[in-house]
Amino acid sequence: MTNKECSVHKTENIPQPDDNNSKSLRADAKQNREQILDAAYKIFSEKGTSIPISEIARQAGVGIGTVYRHFPNKEALFEAVNINYKQQLTKRAKSLINNIDPGEAFFNFFIHIIEDGFTNKALKDALNTGMTDFDVLQDFQSTFATLLTSAQQTKAVREDIDIKDLITLMMSLLFAIEQRKGDLDIERFNKLMSIVIDGLRYKDTNNKST
């Protein structure tokens, strides 16, 4: 038997990877990651970011080792939740860009974020914290800015505010909500929201009575 024949014979006897099995493993890993992200988002939202990794693993129905295989530490997990949350917000904002009423679209999106912050303990951190994925952050801010500009062009939102002002205003509101969590009921929250929304609306100063 020639060397070439021996080589071919030996190769034939080596177990080859099962492509279906590899795909199954990849699908399982993807499912585990999604379960971890879903559980982490829920726990961070309800209880904040101080909850241990072991609790997140329990809620996700996986072992703590599985969590660490996907995320080396809780900071990396929170970053992934943060990115996923901003991607979902961006997707929602993009779906509103071609709304027949740009003003309604803008205010619906703005109110959605603040209302989420009323019950979401981690949202303030998610919007305020730095991100390693700069593209995701830029996409979110750019899409939000498009909603703002469209609303301003139809005289629904005051013209002297830009996206940086808007993000600062949102962060201030979310911070106030977090600080007053113990005594801020839904009625007072709605009153504050009404004041803020009224302040954002376009005012035709040329038609003011003297």
Spatial contact of 60 and 109, defined as CB atoms under 8 Å apart: no
pTM listed for this prediction: 0.74
Sort residue 92 into left (φ over 0), alpha (ψ -120 to 50) or beta.
alpha
DSSP helix, strand, coil percent of the chain (3-state; round to 5): 75, 0, 25
- Residue 99 confidence (pLDDT): 93
pLDDT band at 9 (very low <50, low <70, confident <90, very high): very low
* pLDDT per residue as tens digits for the range 74-114: 889 988 988 888 888 899 999 999 999 999 999 999 999 88
* pLDDT per residue as tens digits for the range 31-89: 999 999 999 988 988 887 788 999 999 999 999 999 999 999 988 998 898 888 888 88
CATH dotted code for 18-72: 1.10.10.60
Q: Phi and psi dihedrals of 157, rounded to 5? A: -125, 140
> Is the fold of 18-72 the same as that of 74-203?
no
Q: For domain 74-203, which architecture applies? A: Orthogonal Bundle (1.10)
Could you tell me the residue ranges of all domains in the chain? 18-72, 74-203
Spatial contact of 173 and 117, defined as CB atoms under 8 Å apart: yes
Q: What is the DSSP letter of 16?
A: P
